[in-house]
A and B are shown apart, each in its own frame.
Chain A
Amino acid sequence: MKILKLSILSVLFTVSITSCVKQEYDAPPNANSIDPSKVVNSQISYLTESCLNLESNKARVLGDSTISGVVIGDDRSGNIYKQIYVQDSAGGGIILLLDRTNLYGDYPVGRKVYVNLKGLYLVNYRGLPEIAYYVDPATGSTSGIPSSLIGDFITKGSYPNTVTPKVVTISDLFSSPARYLNTLIKMEDMQFDVASSGVLYSNPSSSTNRTIKDCPFTGALTMYNSSYSTFQSAITPSGKGSITGIFTTYYTTPQFVLRDTLDVLLTGARTCP
């Protein structure tokens, strides 16, 4: 009888021990050093060129080709919303419309991305080249790539990568805007216009245009600030210095989009009125 009891207990013991439920998990490998190295067979500047030949708010469907670039603008500060700016090594820049918020988690500034363009739309959105999932031919309204479909078109590459901004002057921008559209630029010797300095970056309830100028003065540029940005309530500086951001356009009006106020280094003394 003892033997029977002992053998039953030892069987139970063995069963219990061997039935361990696994709950520890290895961290996945850090994917940032892995580059999928897809074949890139197009260039963003071709898209820009082809897009600017379209009428405003017209679009065309893209064929089977792949571009690659580095994210130069994301939505971390909220000034950019449901889109990212990508610039390739040849210096072309484009907007990707993605129907998702908090994109900077997956596509932060510095992330290399591969974009398979097949079936996407290239649209001349009020003068600005953009890539959309769909463009309504009647109204020209654009739809970003739906959240669940982003993985079909965009492949994440390495991180971080640095894109050095092009150092430009206001006259460079005005004389050949197409060359700089959607790319990262840096301007020296800039300051806010008198009316735009020492005020909120944006009014709380509506997005606001501020004006920046070079000094000595050759021209003024509109800075578009979203009321949803985290720096909406920050005060624009009155000094002079360099400023970095993305060059865009609204129809024919050149515009400047800030990524973050960390790019605004107007720390010198103001020298122009």
Chain B
Amino acid sequence: MLRKVYVYIGLLSFLSVTVLGQETNSDTVIISNNDIPVITIDDNVLNQDDDVSTSSSQNASGMSFASDDPFLFTAGFTLGQYKFRSRGVNNMELQINGIQIQDLERGFASFGSLGGLNDVMRSRKTTYGLSPSEYAYGNTNGTNYIDASAASQRKGTNISFNQTNRSYRSRVMVTHNSGIDKKGWAYSLSASRRWANEGYVAGTFYDGYSLYGSVSKIIKNSQFNFTAFAAPTTRGQAIYAAIDEVYQLSNDNQYNGAWGYQNGVKRNSRVVKVFQPVLIANHTWKPSDRTRLNTAIGYEFGKYNNSSIDFYNAYNPDPSYYRNLPSYYLNPPDPNPAIANAIRSEILSNPNLLQLDWHGMYNANNSNVETIKNVNGIAGNDVTGKRSLYVLSNRVDDMKKYSFNTNIEHEVNEHIGLNGGVKFVAQQDRYYKQLIDLMGGDFFLNYNQFANQQNVPNPAFSQNDINNPNQLIKKDDVYGYDYKLNINKFDAWGQVAFDYDRIDFFFAANLGYTSFNREGFMKNGLFPDNSFGKSTSHDFMTHKTKGGFTVKIDSRNHLYANVDYTTEAPAVINTYISVRTRDFTIKDPVVLKAKTMECGYVFKSDKVFVRATGYITDVTDAVVNMQFFNDDPSVVSFVNYILSDVSARNIGTEFSGSLKLDDKWSLTGLAAIGQTFYTNRPSVNFYQDNQPDQTSVERKVYIKNYYLPVGPQSVYSFAINYRPRTFWFGKINFNYTDRNYVGINPDRRTQQATDLVSPDSENWKEIVDQEKLPAAFTIDISGGKSFRLNKLYKKINYNKLLVLNAGVVNVLNNTNIKVVGYEQLRYDYNNRNPSKFPNKYDYAFGINYYATLSLRF
């Protein structure tokens, strides 16, 4: 019966893998079997049409060679939309004016709050890999530091208008930077709006505003900055993935079952509404040319709402629910091809069957009159009315994050540099479900429909909150779950770097402390003693050490090598078995360990740049917590499926290069070939969500050497650039991605799932083999031109510029590129038939474009 499984694979910051996301709970459920992507990549992709503006030069980098290295820009911008993540991770530490933007609970940076503010987020310093950064110890993929203060913005005004056909259609952006005046003041303002009544995918829409303001004041050798920004956005989403049968029936690889017609208008059920402003005050003090001290305090707060249809004892409204599809009648026990064909032709002749039936849901609510007894636990308080079977609700994350960071940089002499800092972040997230539309009914109930009532019925079991039994839920009421996570993280780090003519080397260390607890605001009927109030705190000490050297053979040839040993506190979501309902934890939460080594060779001359790098990361003691509906006849419940002691390896090589052919033509290219795979056979414990009995079932999963779903593990990109001196440029990219493996359902690699299936049979292979998505070849074209306005009207100042940038992505309009695939966690244990719940996929956009016209003055 269920639904939405956001599997959160939590080798978190290392093998990032946030494959499928996390969500779900035992109570009423969320529409559709479709999983939602976890943020990192997708918001990057979203930002791509923003980042397009000019050339790659805006990705300034702190690495000595990085400004010549096409790798980061191409990897992020060009290949990111095919879900490539460099080193399978995407876990750079991101700081803005000294404040860490990463979410403490999820470990990745949400770029949502930065969207539409490209103009003022351009000043960046990037280190890649384990190279030392002056701002932070950094993550295994490096550090990205954005200086968004008014004083660092280029003086002038920029107005731009963008047309595209992706998640939004249009954007206007206005930015004005004052520059630093004689008294040392500077201010900067930026505002933008992005919108689409319908985006690239049917039924999606976009309505986003972005606001930014910063003031800087320079007094002698101090600079004070106050910076605030936010991107209040409402957007209608697409479902994340579907099985191929649905794509074929809808004849659209961008099929979106999240919408349906209501009174003739497309209504989307999955709407994200977010407003999380960030406020940062920072002070940079330079007592001498050799010393810099930056101190920052930050506050981020606000809500992230994500809507979906919730239903109680009602037929699953997901139009692509497997029981509605032809294939349901082709699988055991009673295959009947004639019925399957009849359904197929029905759906083909009536495509609305694959969209939400809002009218049907309203009608069901209008026809469901019930009497609820003892409402709010008051005897005799009976209420009769239309009890909604379907409602629309928001899953809400109401967040507060306080940050403090101080960072010092001191040059002892021309050879020795010291860096260090102290960082403290306290984050509180209150999570709950809030009803936003009763859809014609009079009320909903705060009940858990999955509570197991067989054998030993207990009326309390079905109450989500026994402090408030039989609670009627109306618009804006909170129900289902309601809890807060308090996370505190403290880090202190230091680094010493030596710089000599022939060799550079450095050492860095970081000591950390993480503590978190859960505070429940509902007393769940299944777990009355473990759901309400504050839980005990879980504390973890962590440490990181790294070091490395660069040998400068001559001014052109450099060799480098770095090593790192890191421990990381387990993610909150992987520590609690099911954080929404109770404070039970996994058996032995321990810190994750990661060993990384990288080495490389860089060649740099006027005309040629080459970098070749090898890397390896070994992760041990990782935990993976997946939640899904288990069809196993001995279970039939939501389960929390927890793999512990997971080990994995991430190994690969990167090559990037550029070659200037003459003063107009140049070539750039990259190749990244990696392997990210499990290296042991972890144990799994699973816990049912629908009964108070918390004994787990333990078994072994045989997943050694299976790949993790980290995007394409082989990518190649080659570009020809043309840049004459006449204010324009053109570029064509050829990209090839391959070895993108689907996320596995570990339980299919167990003795239970393969029992009685003969090894080497077709059935056996279908169950245990891991699918590789087809390789894809794409071409992108981009170009731009800038005009000096005084060429048109002599009176206009010389420095007024009109800039046009445009690009066409996936010129060949390849609409069959699967960028994400995963095995469903539901599995047919009765018939051991993996095709009953086939793999789900997400496809890349076909041909799409962007065009930006900006006026700078």
Which residues does A use to contact B, with CB under 8 Å? 8-9, 12, 15-16, 19, 21-23, 25-28, 30-32, 99-106, 108, 110-111, 133-134, 141, 143, 146-149, 152, 156, 159-160, 204, 232-233
Contacts and interface: CB of A to CB of B under 8 A. Distances in A.
B455 interface: yes
B811 interface: no
B338 interface: yes
B774 interface: no
A31 B366 contact: yes
14 contacts: A15-B172, A28-B359, A28-B440, A32-B367, A102-B313, A105-B367, A105-B368, A108-B368, A146-B342, A148-B325, A149-B343, A149-B346, A152-B346, A159-B367
A152 B172 CA distance: 48
B193 to A, nearest CB: 5
Instruction: Say what secondary structure dominates the interface of chain A.
Output: loop
A100 B324 CA distance: 9
A149 B342 contact: yes
Interface string B254-276: 00000000110101000100000
Nearest to A100: B315
Contacts of A16: 172, 193
B323 interface: yes
Contact of A30 (B313, B366, B368, B389): B366
Nearest 6 interchain pairs by C-beta: A105-B364, A21-B207, A102-B315, A233-B457, A28-B359, A159-B367
Most chain A CB within a 10 A radius of its CB, from B205, B325, B367 = B367
A29 to B, nearest CB: 8
Contacts of B363: 28, 30-32, 106, 156
A21 B205 contact: yes
Nearest to A156: B363
Contact of B205 (A23, A25, A105): A23
Given A25-B265, A28-B359, A146 B343 contact: yes
B262 A19 contact: no
A43 to B, nearest CB: 25
B831 interface: no
A108 B207 contact: no
Interface in B171-196: 172, 174, 193, 195-196
A25 B234 contact: no
A143 B366 contact: no
A106 B366 CA distance: 10
Contacts, number: 115
B159 A8 contact: yes
B193 A141 contact: no
Contacts of A104: 368
Contacts of A108: 367-368
B360 interface: yes
Nearest to B198: A21
A23 B342 CA distance: 36
A261 B377 CA distance: 22
Given A111-B367, A134-B336, A106 B453 contact: no
Given A27-B440, A146-B329, A159-B367, A134 B338 contact: yes
A143 B262 contact: no
B207 A106 contact: no
Given A106-B363, A108-B367, A160-B369, 20 more contacts: A16-B172, A19-B170, A19-B195, A23-B234, A25-B262, A27-B440, A28-B363, A30-B440, A31-B362, A31-B363, A101-B315, A141-B334, A143-B339, A146-B328, A146-B343, A148-B324, A148-B347, A149-B343, A152-B346, A159-B366
B676 to A, nearest CB: 39
A105 B388 CA distance: 10
A101 B323 CA distance: 10
Contact of B207 (A23, A141, A146, A156): A23
Contact of A105 (B206, B234, B314, B455): B314
Nearest to A12: B172
A105 B346 contact: no
B338 to A, nearest CB: 7
Interface string B305-326: 0000000011100000001110
B197 interface: yes
